[in-house]
Amino acid sequence: MAQKPNIPKGTRDFGPIEMARRNYIFSTIRSVFALYGFQQIETPSMELMSTLMGKYGEEGDKLLFRIQNSGEKAAEAPEKGLRYDLTVPFARYIVQHREEIQFPFKRYQIQPVWRADRPQKGRYREFYQCDVDVIGTDSLVSELELIQIVEEVYRRLGIRVCLHLNNRKILAGIAEVIGAPDKIIDITVAIDKLDKIGIENVNKELAERGLTDEAIAKLQPILALEGSNAQKLETIGEILSENEVGTKGVEETRTILELAQDLTLPIELDLTLARGLNYYTGAIFEVKALDVAIGSITGGGRYDNLTGIFGLPNVSGVGISFGADRIYDVLTELNLYPASMLESTQVLFAAFGDAELRYALGWAKTLREQGLRVEVYPEPAKMKKQMGYADAKQIPFVAIVGGNEMESNTVMLKNMLTGEQQQLTLDQLCKTLQSNLTK
Amino acid sequence: MAQKPNIPKGTRDFGPIEMARRNYIFSTIRSVFALYGFQQIETPSMELMSTLMGKYGEEGDKLLFRIQNSGEKAAEAPEKGLRYDLTVPFARYIVQHREEIQFPFKRYQIQPVWRADRPQKGRYREFYQCDVDVIGTDSLVSELELIQIVEEVYRRLGIRVCLHLNNRKILAGIAEVIGAPDKIIDITVAIDKLDKIGIENVNKELAERGLTDEAIAKLQPILALEGSNAQKLETIGEILSENEVGTKGVEETRTILELAQDLTLPIELDLTLARGLNYYTGAIFEVKALDVAIGSITGGGRYDNLTGIFGLPNVSGVGISFGADRIYDVLTELNLYPASMLESTQVLFAAFGDAELRYALGWAKTLREQGLRVEVYPEPAKMKKQMGYADAKQIPFVAIVGGNEMESNTVMLKNMLTGEQQQLTLDQLCKTLQSNLTK
């Protein structure tokens, strides 16, 4: 036999179990989005290279997959590439369709993206993103809704999480106040290392990164921040009281925390959060699972100029992205998938002969009309083989049909877990299956 | 402002309404698949070119989209291309994963495919396929199940259809019996033209296509076929009685029709069906909508050697493919989308000021806990603007909150269809929404 076929590096096949789990995650998320009036869109897998190029930095440009049309001469057709994320296509969508869109536009999008990254554990060249955004309003109610969505999605999935909250304006204010407006990233990196390397080493590193002694001195109260969110915000507010953008950031954060005060979701003000800093202009979010060390499983923020790159300036939006692959890993590690999730077959009919098989087909039809998920083993194979099939597919009941059953207009129902057998009429079978099965 | 951005030729954006409709189609199909124990898989968008090339004929090879990895040297990486259909990746999947798969394997797959066809009305370069197959058994029970699935899917969608049935073995038998075994295609094409050009012209064309006078004479009873499926099958059976493969085809068809005799779906024996003839080895299906002239909306057949191309011979399977784009067009033309399909917002809160907005947020939270789909307009904008938003999104109710409502702990609920207004407490609002809304 020839060599086994394979798939490109960094891509995956999803088998039945993996798909059932992924569908469970996506359908949970979608049903929460729907509660808040978000609507789904889809954009093409390929975009014009002119849409993609220059949007992800120099490194990003190198990670774009280009598409070549075999039949077409290169000169005839504009260059195309595979979608690298859902954000740039969404920005393109808004500008292209702005006359049809009702703003504020609440959209979500669940589609694969492609990156020519070096494949490694947990990093794929094709993976799904799941983005939800409100665009066309700068109201902080949108931030609240996204936080509520985070709470409800993870409550339904059973994952304990903490939401880390930051604000780009606070970081900008701090950098301005200490006289180092171009050092935002260095400052957040330093704060992030506090726990690991201690204050002295952090200060040393800041000096190496070019901060003046004066700037480092001014930064000390920020590095020493302690207490509740309110206490931290109070301290930051004092430090930034003379700084316009910083004060705005403190106010925004205070409002968001106040709007979210009834939630049970833990929220932590976290100045180390520097995610997408060249991009976000207000709130920044990151969600971490409490019981698995896997990094951020959801993140996002407020942006004021998403569509500017396509010539439509001053459209503010806020959005978050759920990391499906990581959520998958968390649920697997914590063994949190519900049994009912599989939507798998509830009963398999196993027939001893051709006449029995015909008989089973009639019963199966009736059960399906009741909404039951039913399989009929398609051949009168050896009973052991048919049972093996039920075992492998984890089908909980097998309805065995032999000559006796046909004569008495019954089936012999075997519970595959307990081994228990019962001779049942069609009516009894219906009732047994309806009552015994979770879903 | 810059020129509007655009998308590559032959691709599409799907907005909220289109997505809701597409989701309705796919979820209807999926729920029927689940009743029969079919499980979903997904394969990567890109396959190795060695997997794709030579599988779709010379023309097909030209329509493959190749993928170029910007960062990687061409020599380092094997060539990749976008999936052209779901069949070849499925065959590759079976061979690659055959040790994990439980046969008979009942799988479905709903994913986009890409073809570098010249774009034209109704033909896209990216479109979804929706394939369902049973592989690893040659039992005709599988043909029956696919026919049952066709019946149930179109019953649920409300589309009246007819299923056309043919069998490759019958066609092969006819060609052998008339002494022209290599002329199967010419014969089916000729039969297909009978209604349009009449028997004399058909015979003339057959002669031009190289059939001998004797062959044409022997074909006359086939061209004159009339009556019910059973009568036609009787005639064909007589003509093919001495031919082994033809007789096998007649028997298969008779069994399928007999298994399906209780169905309400009209089934028509149709010898002109030549779909995928270089590929199918047994039954051939095609489903046509009765009330819209749009061609086949579902089709498929039995194949005996799908996985042979990847070195695993003698695995028989049967499958059909639902044409999502055409089903979409049929439902649109016949106006068959149910109102409840949209899963859209059930009530919008419209607040006169900031305090009212906060008040509305609390109410919205409670309603969502009851499973209601609720939006809060995120700003205390002009009431006209908020009402316009509800109109545009076809939200049926607006809960207006002003000072009076806050004082009396109520909202003013406006029915957007009738214009009727009612002052309601939270409890009354819940009950009104629950009882008034279809879903």
What is d(CA A300, CA B96) in angstroms, rounded to the nearest whole number?
38
A283 with A316: CB under 8 angstroms?
no
Q: Which two tokens stand for residue B251?
A: 């028997």
Q: Which residue of A has its CA nearest to B110?
A: A19
Higher-scoring residue by pLDDT: B97, B191: B97
What is d(CA B244, CA A227) in angstroms, rounded to the nearest whole number?
87
Select from A48, A116, A362 the Cβ nearest to the Cβ of B7.
Answer: A48
Across A360-387, average pLDDT: 97
pLDDT of B121 > 90? The answer is no
pLDDT of A1 > 60? The answer is no
The number of residues in chain B equals 439
Sketch the domain layout of chain A as residue ranges.
Answer: 16-334, 344-437
Give the pLDDT of residue A437: 66
Facing residues of B248 across strands? none
Give the pLDDT of residue A439: 42
Instruction: Please give the model's pTM, rounded to 2 decimal places.
Output: 0.94
pLDDT of A428 > 90? The answer is yes
Q: Which residue of B has its CA nearest to A33?
A: B373
| Exposure of B124 in the CB half-sphere (CA atoms within 13 A) | 20
Give the pLDDT of residue B392: 94
Contact A39 B48 (CB under 8 A): no
A347 with A393: CB under 8 angstroms?
no
- With beta carbons under 8 A apart, name residues in chain A contacting B368: 35-36, 152
Q: What share of chain A is helix, strand, coil (3-state, %, to 5)?
A: 45, 20, 35
Higher-scoring residue by pLDDT: A62, B276: A62
Facing residues of A286 across strands? A164, A299
Give the pLDDT of residue B224: 85
Select from A5, A70, A148 the Cβ nearest to the Cβ of B51.
Answer: A5
Contact A42 B13 (CB under 8 A): yes
Contact B35 A371 (CB under 8 A): yes
Give the pLDDT of residue B439: 42
- With beta carbons under 8 A apart, name residues in chain B contacting A363: none
Per residue in B150-177, pLDDT tens?
999 999 999 999 999 999 999 999 999 9
Higher-scoring residue by pLDDT: A11, A3: A11
Contact B8 A44 (CB under 8 A): yes
Mean pLDDT, rounded, of chain A: 93
Per residue in B279-309, pLDDT tens?
899 999 999 999 999 989 999 999 998 899 8
Per residue in A63-91, pLDDT tens?
999 998 766 665 567 899 999 999 999 99
Per residue in B186-235, pLDDT tens?
888 887 888 788 889 999 999 998 899 999 998 898 888 889 999 999 99
| Cα–Cα nearest to A278, from A176, A172, A142 | A172
pLDDT of A123 > 90? The answer is no
Contact B373 A35 (CB under 8 A): yes
Interface test with A, best of B3, B13, B126 (most A CBs within 10 A): B13
Per residue in B22-55, pLDDT tens?
999 999 999 999 999 999 999 999 999 999 998 8
- Residue A281 to chain B, least CA–CA distance (Å): 19
| Tokens 């009851």 sit on residue | B370
pLDDT of B438 > 60? The answer is no
- Residue A33 to chain B, least CA–CA distance (Å): 9
Give the pLDDT of residue B379: 96
B424 with B415: CB under 8 angstroms?
no
- With beta carbons under 8 A apart, name residues in chain A contacting B100: 15
Across B63-77, average pLDDT: 76
Domain A344-437 CATH class label: alpha beta
Q: Which two tokens stand for residue A397?
A: 């009941």
Count interface pairs A-B at CB distance under 8 A: 269
- With beta carbons under 8 A apart, name residues in chain B contacting A80: 8
Q: Which two tokens stand for residue A438?
A: 């979770």
Interface test with A, best of B65, B123, B255, B391 (most A CBs within 10 A): B65
CA A202 distance to own-chain centroid: 34
Higher-scoring residue by pLDDT: A141, B72: A141
Mean pLDDT, rounded, of chain B: 93
Select from B5, B65, B96 the Cβ nearest to the Cβ of A92.
Answer: B5
B24 with B341: CB under 8 angstroms?
yes
Select from A46, A71, A378 the Cβ nearest to the Cβ of B141.
Answer: A378
Interface test with B, best of A3, A4, A53, A64 (most B CBs within 10 A): A4
Select from A39, A137, A141 the Cβ nearest to the Cβ of B357.
Answer: A141
Give the pLDDT of residue A73: 60
Select from B62, B374, B378 the Cβ nearest to the Cβ of A141.
Answer: B378
Cis peptide before A104 (omega within 30 of 0): yes
Across A302-314, average pLDDT: 91
DSSP notation for A178-197: TT-TT-HHHHHHHHHHHHHH
- Give the pLDDT band of residue B76 (cuts 50, 70, 90): low
Amino acid letter, A391: D
pLDDT of B258 > 90? The answer is yes
Contact B35 A373 (CB under 8 A): yes
CATH fold label, A16-334:
BirA Bifunctional Protein; domain 2 (3.30.930)
H/E element, A156: helix A141-157
pLDDT of A301 > 60? The answer is yes
How large a percentage of chain B has pLDDT more than 90? 79
What is d(CA A178, CA A201) in angstroms, rounded to the nearest whole number?
19
Give the pLDDT of residue B340: 77
Give the pLDDT of residue B234: 95
Contact B20 A39 (CB under 8 A): yes
- With beta carbons under 8 A apart, name residues in chain B contacting A44: 7-8, 11-13, 126
| Cα–Cα nearest to B118, from B63, B168, B194, B73 | B63
B163 with B265: CB under 8 angstroms?
yes
What is d(CA B331, CA B341) in angstroms, rounded to the nearest whole number?
13
Contact B42 A64 (CB under 8 A): no
- With beta carbons under 8 A apart, name residues in chain B contacting A65: 67-70
Give the pLDDT of residue B72: 60
- Residue B44 to chain A, least CA–CA distance (Å): 6
Contact B13 A43 (CB under 8 A): yes
Contact A7 B100 (CB under 8 A): no
Q: Which residue of A has its CA nearest to B380?
A: A139
